[in-house]
Amino acid sequence: MTEPILSMRRLGKTHGVGAQRVDALVSVDLDLLPGELVAITGRSGSGKTTLLNMAGALDEPTTGEVIVDGQNLATLSKQELARVRRVSVGYVFQQFNLLPSLTAAENISLPLELDGMKPALARELAEKSLDEVELGGMADRYPDQLSGGEQQRVAIARGLVGPRSVLLADEPTGALDEATSESILKLIRSRCDAGAAALLVTHEPAYAAWADRVVRLRDGRVEGISVRSKTPSSTADLS
């Protein structure tokens, strides 16, 4: 039997204390097998970003556990967690998070270099990744010399660069036109077809149609899961 690449068990997260307490996630169970693209939907505040942050080792769960590539994140040292974040997981942030003092290519290559990759190879991978998001000519521009949509594509290129096993993308197409969004979705789909697993937060039903499953969150709980076969017409709703 194929093992999941990403496994979340009874995952819960409470933000804040006292009167400010928010149960952002409540007992979420979710397994992603290699090759799977899972869309996460739900209104603002339903826990989508919190879920991605737990899956990407950016924040610690209050209850339950996250297993990435067979490693229970709760058992890892700080250094090992940093490695999971830099090597196993590719994260495309809702707010881009590009460093303004680095060029587009450097924003992508620096994290690779920090992980020990030779600068020339890191630069080569960064340029290849920029080509994939159709920004080949803009490698040496700084973020403030790029449009919002172009910055978003740099953030996507940074999240997808290298052989990542888990891709986490938080509304990655918010600033993009329809044609560019479609090409980004194809790119994420092709990474999954090559063996990665992806969690994609999206509000757009047309983009959720690229997913194998659509998980609907409501108030931090899984409200329903739709499973799709390859033909959209035979979508079965299991909720």
Ligand X SMILES: Nc1ncnc2c1ncn2[C@@H]1O[C@H](COP(=O)(O)OP(=O)(O)O)[C@@H](O)[C@H]1O
Residues of this chain that bind ligand X (CB under 6 A): 15-16, 22, 24, 42, 44-50
Map residues 31-50 to x or -, x wherever contact with Mg ion holds by CB under 5 A: -----------------xx-
Query: Which amino acid belongs to residue 214?
Result: V
132: Cα within 13 Å, side-chain hemisphere = 24
CB of 45 to ligand X, least distance (A): 4
Which DSSP state fits 213? Answer: E
Q: Which is nearer to Mg ion, 41 or 49 (CB)?
A: 49
Map residues 12-31 to x or -, x wherever contact with Mg ion holds by CB under 5 A: --------------------
C-alpha separations of 108 from 14, 80, 129 in Å: 32, 21, 8
Q: Which is nearer to ligand X, 44 or 147 (CB)?
A: 44
The answer to whether the CB of 227 falls within 8 A of the CB of 213 is: yes
CA dihedral sign, ordered 29, 232, 194, 202: negative
**Residues β-bridged to residue 37:** 198
CB of 71 to ligand X, least distance (A): 24
Q: Scan for tokens 């697993």, then name that residue.
A: 197
Q: Which is nearer to ligand X, 28 or 126 (CB)?
A: 28
CB of 105 to ligand X, least distance (A): 29
Decide which of Mg ion, ligand X, none touches 172; Cβ closer than 5 to 8 Å per partner kind: none
Q: Which is nearer to ligand X, 21 or 186 (CB)?
A: 21
DSSP characters over 131-170: HHTT-GGGTT--GGGS-HHHHHHHHHHHHH-S--SEEEEE
Decide which of Mg ion, ligand X, none touches 16; Cβ closer than 5 to 8 Å per partner kind: ligand X
Decide which of ligand X, Mg ion, none touches 213; Cβ closer than 5 to 8 Å per partner kind: none
Q: Which is nearer to ligand X, 17 or 238 (CB)?
A: 17
Nearest partner of 105 among 137, 132, 140, 131, judged by Cα: 140
Decide which of ligand X, Mg ion, none touches 45; Cβ closer than 5 to 8 Å per partner kind: ligand X
Q: Report the interface residues with Mg ion, using CB under 5 A.
A: 48-49
